[in-house]
Amino acid sequence: MAYTTVPTGSTLTQKAWRPGLIHQVELQAHMMGFVSPDDDSGIVLLEDLTKKRGDKIQIRFSPTDDTSDGFSDTDTVEGNEEKIDFLPDEMKIDYLAFAFAQAGQMSQQRVSFDLKAAAFIKAVAKWTRRFEESICNQFAGYTPAMGAAQDNYKRTGLNPVTQLDTAHILYSTAGAATYTTDQGIAADDTAVMTLDGINDAVLKMMTKAELTYPIAPCPDGFYHCVMHPYQWRQLRDNTSAGDWGDIVRATLEGGRRYEDSPLARGWLGTYNNTKLHVSDWVPNGVTSTDATLKQSNARRAFIFGARGAHMAFGEGYADGNHLDWVEQTRDYRKWGVLADSCFGVKRTIFNSQTYASLVLVTYSKG
């Protein structure tokens, strides 16, 4: 049997679909806004177009230390130079696709809308959610996303999720006790998201005494905190002295119009050199005794700075062409479309420790 195929390079292909797909996905996926080839971006974009699916891409970083006093005019430089040390990490790129098929021409005739346009909308939604979910799962160290066998990476950026080390996970201090597990947080509905939690995270990120490698802000000069909508609701509703609701109220009493306030507009804001963001894909907690099980009633917000994660594309999926749109006609008037890419996402890890990001676990229903 012979099949008629219409590949992307064919003159018959509808060229409008592909750029529209790429534009809509990267516009709607909030976390993709942090992806940039800048070495100091929150998610560093690596594009090695010669790499193929299954290939590994090397990540290297040279940390700055303060062990040398430097050289004065009378010091001998030659023979006393410092060596440059590099911290290694690696990530994998692989292939992922979503496909849709139409049974035949009669199906199109039975409806008033364009089925191919519907497939386009579906592909945009699928890829938007998958990029967003993959990045959030990596930052949050959400190991249950890999399934019971811990070998399904389709929702984790096609790379395994590494469990968080204790130095890079914080727990809400608003509860009735001090917690060290996601289960403890989940059992206390007062252990909610507060500005104190963000303060603790920022202090830890900036201080060498707290972390081996203090975290630098992103190129915009800010850290970025991504929380679940339930956590954002907790922050907004908190009118305790010095917390979010109280700060907004004080600005209104100081003369700011209510229509211009974050509470009225529903958008977040900036606090302690940290921009606040919300994503419905911020995952649940993880049970400390079993990395394959999610912990309900807990959410893992995360805060990151420069080089918090890396994202890579290969096989020709360059910037501006991160997704492909392929159409195929078969069995006369039946057709199918496929939206695919070759990519990878991974939280940055050096010497078995998370680099440039922290997780803040708080109570959150669901």
The position carrying tokens 């600005």 is 251
E strand intervals along 210-365: 223-227, 269-271, 274-278, 284-286, 294-304, 309-313, 324-330, 334-347, 349-350, 353-354, 357-363
**Nearest CA to 232 among 260, 264, 262, 268?**
268
Two structure tokens written together for 9: 């390079």
pLDDT at 110: 47
| d(C-alpha 283, C-alpha 140), whole Å | 7
pLDDT at 19: 59
Name the residue with higher pLDDT: 19 or 337: 337
pLDDT digits (tens, 9 = 90+) for 71-127: 898 899 898 888 877 888 999 999 999 988 765 554 444 444 466 778 888 888 999
Answer yes or no: CATH 1.10.10 is held by domain 5-62+86-363: no
| d(C-alpha 62, C-alpha 250), whole Å | 44
pLDDT digits (tens, 9 = 90+) for 186-195: 999 999 999 9
pLDDT digits (tens, 9 = 90+) for 252-290: 777 767 666 665 555 578 899 999 999 999 999 999 999
pLDDT at 2: 59
DSSP 34: G
Angle (CA) 191 304 248, round 5°: 55
Count of Cβ atoms closer than 10 Å to residue 125 Cβ: 14
Choose the most confident range, by mean pLDDT, from 10-19, 46-55, 102-111, 181-190: 181-190
| d(C-alpha 68, C-alpha 345), whole Å | 36
Cα torsion 91, 92, 93, 98: sign? negative
DSSP 253-292: HTT--GGGSHHHH---EEETTEEEEE-TT--EEE-TT-TT
DSSP 106-165: HHHHTSSS-HHHHHHHHHHHHHHHHHHHHHHHHHHT-GGGGTTTT---TTTTTSPPPPPP
| d(C-alpha 157, C-alpha 5), whole Å | 30
Q: Are 136 and 226 in contact (CB under 8 A)?
A: yes
Region 173-196: mean pLDDT is 97
pLDDT at 170: 98
Please give the share of the chain, as a percent, with pLDDT higher than 90.
56
pLDDT digits (tens, 9 = 90+) for 214-226: 899 999 999 999 9
pLDDT digits (tens, 9 = 90+) for 200-210: 999 999 987 77
Beta bridge partners of 226: 277, 302
pLDDT at 279: 96
Q: pLDDT band at residue 5, thresholds of 50, 70 and 90?
A: low
Angle in degrees, 0-180, between the axes of helices 115-140 and 17-28, rounded to the nearest 10:
40
Beta bridge partners of 102: 335
Q: Are 353 and 167 in contact (CB under 8 A)?
A: yes
Two structure tokens written together for 224: 């970025």
Angle (CA) 88 92 95, round 5°: 165
Q: What is the pTM of this model?
A: 0.87
| d(C-alpha 287, C-alpha 199), whole Å | 25
Can you give the residue ranges of every domain in the chain? 5-62+86-363
Q: pLDDT band at residue 44, thresholds of 50, 70 and 90?
A: very high
